[in-house]
Amino acid sequence: MKIEIFNTLIWWWIALGLIIMPLQFRIAAPYGRHTTLSWGPMIDNRIGWFVMEVPSLIIFSYFIITGNGFTMDFRGLLCFSFAGHYIYRALIFPMLIRTTNKKMPLTIATSAIFFNTVNASFNGYWLGSLSSESGHSFVIGTFQILGMILFVTGFSIHFWHDRYLIRLRRETNVGYVIPYGGLFKWVSCPNFLGEIIEWSGFAMMCWSLPAFSFLCWTCTNLIPRAWQHHRWYREHFNDYPKSRKAIIPEIF
């Protein structure tokens, strides 16, 4: 595939995300605390998370293995960073969550599979093949080091607050409660904030259009989702902290 055609496809992909974003502020995706039975057949929550996330790991790995650009240098670190995130999301996270008889709509899992297939294909194909064809230079400089710091920091924030919520639900055993630990002091969804920081770092490390599109879609999905969570907390808890924002401290 010519680089010009590849880039055009990605710009259209980014445009699609921007078009969808306003809709997600109006309609909460019906899984987790927003689950509803009106979206068709339901599947087990843990199975749903696995089938949603594992395509990213498989498809990305396929393009890296069959490509011609993988080397055990900084490019390899980028590949391991992407794959490492999805090893957690597809294989570890579903085993950590303790949800009894919790379901999600099959339509949500299907739409997530579509997104992950496209996103993993773009990033895998670029890292595995196109980056070498375009003469992209993977030189570690200040910008890349900052990106690595952001990636590790973002993943740590995301992982810690995921674990905190899982532990909180297990300890209280009463459903949803107001979380107070960590960055919950400032925002309702620090796990989502961590993911945005994480993929901002990845985009800086790669400095590529596919990585930038991943960051755009991460924001497109998680910022409205955080707003929906924030509004849900306020509707269900009269004593919810009024100073707490949805996802960006002191801003939004």
Residues of the chain with pLDDT under 50: none
Closest by CA position to 203, among listed 3, 51, 10, 67: 10
CA 7 – CA 221 distance, rounded (Å): 22
| Phi and psi torsions of 176, nearest 5° | -80, 135
- The neighbouring-strand residues paired with 105 are 42
| Phi and psi torsions of 105, nearest 5° | -65, 140
Domain count along the chain:
1
Alpha helices in 27-141 (DSSP H): 45-66, 74-87, 93-96, 106-125, 131-133
- How many residues in the chain? 252
The confidence score (pLDDT) of residue 33 equals: 85
> How deeply is 222 buried, as exposed, middle or buried, from its count of CB atoms within 10 A (0-12, 13-18, 19+)?
buried
Tokens at 77, concatenated:
């670190």
Residue 243 lies in a domain: no
Tokens at 136, concatenated:
């992209």
Non-local CB neighbours of 24 within 8 Å, separated by 6+ positions: 220, 221, 224, 225, 228
Residue 89 lies in a domain: yes
Residue 247 lies in a domain: no
The confidence score (pLDDT) of residue 134 equals: 63
Residue 63 lies in a domain: yes
Residue 50 lies in a domain: yes
Q: Give the domain extent around 7.
A: 3-236
- DSSP sequence for 84-95: HHHHIIIIIHHH
CA 240 – CA 206 distance, rounded (Å): 39
CA-to-CA separations, 22 to 18, 36, 227, in angstroms, rounded? 8, 21, 12
Residue 245 lies in a domain: no
pTM: 0.93
Residue 20 lies in a domain: yes
Tens of pLDDT, residues 133-179 = 666 767 788 889 999 999 999 999 999 999 999 888 877 766 789 99
CA 79 – CA 102 distance, rounded (Å): 33
Cα 123–10–128 angle (5° rounding)? 25
Tokens 């401290």 belong to: 249
Residue 104 lies in a domain: yes
The confidence score (pLDDT) of residue 141 equals: 86
